[in-house]
Structure 1
């Protein structure tokens, strides 16, 4: 049901956007997200089909692009093609890094896996410390 649910959800967002059009842009929920809506609109203007396809892989735009396609009156056939294609590969693409990581760790054995975990822990600690330092410097 996962792929079908994502595809159906985006199709419903498209139909709502198509039915209610620009009036949705003035709604309270989208008014709070003006900057994201403006970026999604620009992305859609520039790339159309590709924006719908790639929008599923971009967290900030994932929920906005299908409705924006409806608001902008993208032909339904083109939208549904991008929707179905991206929906079919999104979940496997999401799991691929973990799968490859496990396969690589298995190939390295227990010692190599422990070394990789230690390196990842150090990288995470460095990222957290640098982020806190940056946050402390900002007024």
Structure 2
């Protein structure tokens, strides 16, 4: 038996919608933290500490996610950072989705549906990252 063939990893750019949504999370979270005018939505019904926690998580998810998208170093670190950012974002969006449906019922179909889909998309990407990391650390080839 010969030596195993080397692993070749071709890394493309992150999908533009993912990077844009992560990037917009930064000013949205920062605006909420710095007391920008509160939206007339479910956020107005939340206790202040919940809004601060939600905004902080949103902003951190964006910062770490954008940093992972432009990272030029170790690919495993970039993938783990992206995974963390997307998990954090999924938690934020799932919490918001639950809150709007609890407070507004089916009248929240648009914002709740959009945020819920964003949370699910984050979780799907997290599963993809886990598969990529397993293959990279096991020395298997990426398809």
Larger radius of gyration, structure 1 or 2? Answer: 1
More contact order relative to length (CA 8 Å, sep ≥ 6): 1
Greater per-residue helix proportion? 1
Q: TM-score, normalised by structure 2?
A: 0.30
Q: TM-score, normalised by structure 1?
A: 0.30
